Structure 1
Amino acid sequence: MSYAEFEPGRILIVRAEHDADLIQFITEIAKERDIESGFFTAMGALKRAELGFYDQETHKYQELTVDDHCEIASCVGNISILDGEPFVHVHAVLTYEDGEAIGGHLNEAQVFAAEVHIQEVKGPAMIRRHDDITDLSLWQFE
């Protein structure tokens, strides 16, 4: 087990720009505001998205493209450091007009309208490093 204790930092409430890529948008905020560690939620609607499902045997993401407008039913993520830069990791559940839902790792998300709540945390750096067992970049606390 690897863990660390943190204190609350700044809280940012942000409206994402229409047509922005949600992940790039949050990454830019993290860089501009010097946020190295934090968590966020988002709500709103997307024009299109790309989700991924990590295959634990092949260690590859299966991608699913959503080429239709959808609502963000749930969107949670974190901000940490990967290769010296802010890294945004996001999971989302998206719903269609008929109520059908789809979810997974969010790779791309073109915003129609979205509101984001970012909670910075202060403490040891949340640095991601390659994990040989999972073949993922996971948190390593220093």
Structure 2
Amino acid sequence: MQVKRIKEGGADGGQRVFAVVFQTGDDPIAGLKAVARDEGLAASSLTAIGAFRRGVLGFFDFDRKDYHRIPVEEQCEVVSLIGNVTAGPDGPGLHLHAVLGRRDGQAVAGHLLEAEVHPTLEVMLTESPAHLVRRKDAETGLPLLAPSDPEAPDPKAAS
């Protein structure tokens, strides 16, 4: 993985922008968490394109309160990868959605749960000016974005 800061933030609250390039065999989820931790990113958005040797996507099943896993055990194009990075109690958290294109032109989409890059994944990571956090939602068990006051009590938790 290679990381290059391509835009500096400023005292005026300007956004830092990073190009993150993954190579064959890299785990993009672990790599993005490492970049966020190393660069002190509390809130960021990202877009990416490239290719995976394999991946696992997920579709959230509300009844089970867990992800239905969708394995893609073949070389595939990363047609679109978008998401965000937020602060969490255990360090940076990622929320990533991907569309993967198969050899026959069919696409599969969902939350990116696992992936192995082959041959590259090109990520543009843009720092957001505001600090964003996630809180565990009492109803779903999911860590949901809390863009307002992160210290305010969760109204669903009181129910």
Is this a same-fold pair by TM over 0.5?
Answer: yes
In the alignment, is residue 60 of structure 1 matched against residue 71 of structure 2?
Answer: no
For residues 104-127 of structure 1, what are the alpha-carbon distances to aligned partners after superposition, in whole Å with 9 as ceiling and x for unaligned? 00001101111000010122x211
Instruction: Give % identity.
Output: 33
Number of aligned residue pairs = 135
Aligned match of 1:138: 144
Aligned match of 2:128: 121
Contact 1:129–1:139 (Cα < 8 Å) also in 2: yes
Structure 1: state its 5+ residue gaps.
1-6
The higher-RCO structure (CA 8 Å, 6+ apart) is 1
Q: 2: distance between equivalents of 1:17 and 1:28?
A: 15
How far apart are residue 129 of structure 1 and its match?
A: 1.0
AA matched with 1:104: G
Task: Pick the aligned partner of 1:18 from 15, 24, 32.
Answer: 24
Contact 1:8–1:119 (Cα < 8 Å) also in 2: no
Moved over 2 A (4+): none
Q: 1: distance between equivalents of 2:69 and 2:81?
A: 18
Task: Pick the aligned partner of 2:51 from 29, 45, 53.
Answer: 45
Structure 2: state its 5+ residue gaps.
1-12, 150-159
AA matched with 1:49: G
AA matched with 2:85: I
Q: Which has the higher strand share?
A: 1
TM-score by length of 1: 0.89
In the alignment, is residue 95 of structure 1 matched against residue 101 of structure 2?
Answer: yes
How far apart are residue 133 of structure 1 and its match?
A: 2.3
RMSD (CA atoms): 1.3
Q: 2: distance between equivalents of 1:9 and 1:84?
A: 24
Aligned match of 1:85: 91
